């Protein structure tokens, strides 16, 4: 990690060995067969199901739940995966409480939705555990496609393109595929190496070649890819992290939350990951919550999450906010960082309280801190990119960029909501348009 081991207050091994296993176990244990049948029986199988409309990947939710209810979970999995090839991961990390389950008729009438996310996991896990890949490749088209980024958008696009008969090469800057799923999600949401298992399973479609540690703008260029391939899909996500804009933020102990989460995800032994005694996380999204909760699970005594607006404006769902609070994370709102204090390393961080219009109220807050994690948004990194819309790549409704033969989707493209499930949908839809363009069926 970037954190120096000898900084006062920051240390590894704060907990007893067994505690790490307990703390980082599966957040939602999977349903067994009986529990899945009981949960599926609660579905009304609405013909105009609002849950389908609320799903970014348009999964036929009533159909797959009916298939579970009739004890055909593999058929249910194929229904899910035909729309969302990363349905297993999305079942674990998708904010279903804000999407499909929020509009479930059972939720509206009784305040208790059908367990759509857990049922989706039950079906996809059942299929994947058998090593079954339910799709086969079409006859080879002779066309080649480059995909930049082995995250949810890139892998979704690659799978659909390979299934349609194209030869796909995926270039990724990291040493392992998976993108956000591998490096950017809390460990307790996807334990036991599930992210890599899902990638290995996805690649069974064939026709996909992975090339690691190949970053756009460094080892490969967009112009070079356009020369070597018939089409290009950009799905590399966001590689940079926004600055705090506070005096002293260069001090030791002020770190990027995404790096902390990635280091923890790649750790072979959680007891070796250092954490502070007093941790402050700045931000209001899922990354901020993941960093705050995991700091607490590693043994930090005091963890405070500070956000510049009210809790109703946080990107993290109410469920995620409540999860943080249940783990002992203090949430402070309407405060923006003003200065980081300390002699070389952070010792305190000072905030200005602000109103809804972001105007300082004149009141300040100082929090002791030996670790500060920035989770205030990421930025697009790369050179020679297509036209931007704001700070992301501009795309039309089909995922086409300003450059002929180049599509984009996921977090690097404008218009999305930075959710895994949305990235999967954008990769899939762009792949379908690429297929039409490559085969002359546009």
237-260 pLDDT per residue, tens? 998 888 899 999 999 999 999 999
Number of neighbours of residue 442 by Cβ within 10 angstroms: 10
Q: Does the structural domain 144-239+380-439 have CATH classification 3.30.565.10? A: no
Block residue for tokens 């229904």? 79
Q: Does the pLDDT of residue 5 top 50, yes or no?
A: no
Q: Does the pLDDT of residue 349 top 70, yes or no?
A: yes
Mean per-residue pLDDT of the chain = 95
51-93 pLDDT per residue, tens? 999 999 999 999 999 999 999 999 999 999 999 999 999 999 9
277-327 pLDDT per residue, tens? 999 999 999 999 999 999 999 999 999 999 999 999 999 999 999 999 999
The pLDDT assigned to 7 comes to 61
The pLDDT assigned to 355 comes to 97
The pLDDT assigned to 129 comes to 94
CA-CA distance, 188 to 168, in Å (whole number)? 32
Cβ burial 199-233 (10 Å sphere, 16+ → b, else e)? bebbbebebbebeeebbbbeebebeebbeebbbbb
Strands 335-341 and 392-393: what pairing? unpaired
CA dihedral angle for residue 383, residue 387, residue 391, residue 395, rounded to 10 degrees: -120
CA-CA distance, 333 to 347, in Å (whole number)? 21
pTM across the whole model:
0.94
Among 159, 138, 19, 148, residue whose Cα is nearest residue 89: 159
pLDDT band at 442 (very low <50, low <70, confident <90, very high): low
Residues above pLDDT 70, as percent of the chain: 98
The pLDDT assigned to 1 comes to 43
Q: Are the C-beta atoms of residues 374 and 241 closer than 8 Å to each other?
A: yes
pLDDT band at 187 (very low <50, low <70, confident <90, very high): very high
CA distance to 162, 324, 434, per residue, from 203 (Å): 9, 35, 20
CA-CA distance, 412 to 430, in Å (whole number)? 14
Q: Does the pLDDT of residue 342 top 50, yes or no?
A: yes
pLDDT band at 2 (very low <50, low <70, confident <90, very high): very low
Is 241-377 the same fold as 41-129? no
386-417 pLDDT per residue, tens? 999 999 999 999 999 999 999 999 999 998 78
Residues above pLDDT 90, as percent of the chain: 91
Question: C-alpha angle 19/274/332, rounded to 5°?
Answer: 85
In degrees and rounded to multiples of 5, residue 332 shows phi and psi of: -115, 130
pLDDT band at 6 (very low <50, low <70, confident <90, very high): very low
| Mean of pLDDT values over 97-109 | 95
The pLDDT assigned to 8 comes to 63
Gap between the terminal Cα atoms of the chain? 48
In degrees and rounded to multiples of 5, residue 37 shows phi and psi of: -65, -40
Q: Which residues pair with 278 in a beta bridge?
A: 302
Q: What residue spans define the domains of the chain?
A: 41-129, 144-239+380-439, 241-377
Q: Note the Cα 436 to chain centre separation in Å.
A: 29
Q: Are the C-beta atoms of residues 161 and 85 closer than 8 Å to each other?
A: no
Q: List the structure tokens of 14.
A: 């704060």
DSSP states of 342-398: SSSB--EEEEEEE-TTS-EEEEEEEEE-SEEEE-S-EE---SS---EETTEE---TT
Q: Identify the CATH assignment for 41-129 out of 1.10.1060.10, 3.40.640.10, 3.40.35.10, 3.30.70.1060.
A: 1.10.1060.10
- Can you name the CATH fold of 241-377? FAD/NAD(P)-binding domain (3.50.50)
The pLDDT assigned to 441 comes to 77
């Amino acid at each position: 990690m970037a954190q120096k081991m000898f900084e006062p207050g920051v240390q590894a091994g704060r907990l007893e060995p067994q505690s790490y296993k307990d703390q980082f176990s599966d957040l939602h244990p999977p349903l067994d067969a009986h529990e899945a049948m009981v949960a599926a029986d609660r579905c009304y199988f609405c013909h105009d199901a609002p849950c389908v409309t609320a799903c970014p990947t348009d999964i036929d939710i009533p159909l797959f739940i009916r298939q579970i209810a009739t004890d055909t979970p593999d058929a249910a999995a194929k229904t899910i995966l035909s729309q969302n090839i990363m349905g297993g991961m999305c079942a674990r990390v998708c904010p279903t409480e804000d999407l499909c389950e929020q509009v479930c008729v059972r939720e509206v009438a009784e305040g208790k939705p059908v367990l759509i996310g857990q049922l989706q996991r039950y079906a996809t896990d059942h299929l994947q555990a058998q090593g079954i890949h339910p799709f086969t490749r079409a006859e080879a088209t002779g066309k080649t496609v480059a995909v930049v980024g082995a995250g949810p958008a890139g892998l979704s696009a690659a799978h659909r393109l390979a299934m349609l008969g194209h030869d796909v090469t995926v270039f990724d800057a990291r040493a392992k595929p998976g993108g956000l799923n591998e490096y950017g999600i809390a460990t307790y949401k996807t334990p036991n190496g599930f992210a890599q298992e899902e990638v290995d399973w996805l690649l069974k479609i064939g026709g996909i070649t992975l090339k690691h540690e190949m970053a756009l703008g460094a080892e490969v260029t967009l112009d070079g890819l356009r020369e070597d391939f018939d089409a290009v899909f950009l799905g590399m996500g966001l590689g940079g992290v926004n600055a705090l804009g506070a005096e002293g933020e260069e001090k030791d102990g002020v770190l990027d939350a995404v790096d902390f989460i990635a280091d923890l995800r790649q750790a072979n032994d959680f007891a070796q990951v250092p954490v502070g005694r007093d941790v402050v996380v700045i931000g209001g999204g899922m990354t901020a919550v993941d960093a705050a909760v995991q700091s607490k699970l590693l043994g930090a005594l005091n963890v405070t999450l500070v956000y510049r607006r009210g809790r109703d404006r946080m990107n993290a769902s109410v469920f995620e906010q409540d999860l943080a609070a249940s783990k002992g994370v203090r949430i402070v709102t309407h405060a923006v960082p003003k200065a980081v204090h300390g002699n070389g390393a952070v010792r305190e961080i000072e905030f200005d309280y602000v109103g809804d219009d972001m105007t300082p109220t004149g009141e300040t807050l100082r929090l002791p801190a030996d670790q500060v994690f920035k989770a205030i948004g990421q930025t697009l990194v790369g050179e020679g990119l297509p036209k931007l819309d704001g700070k992301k790549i501009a795309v039309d409704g089909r995922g086409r960029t300003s450059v002929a033969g180049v599509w984009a989707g996921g977090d690097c493209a404008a218009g999305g909501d930075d959710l895994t499930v949305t990235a999967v949908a954008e990769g899939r839809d762009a792949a379908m348009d690429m297929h039409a363009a490559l085969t002359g069926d546009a």
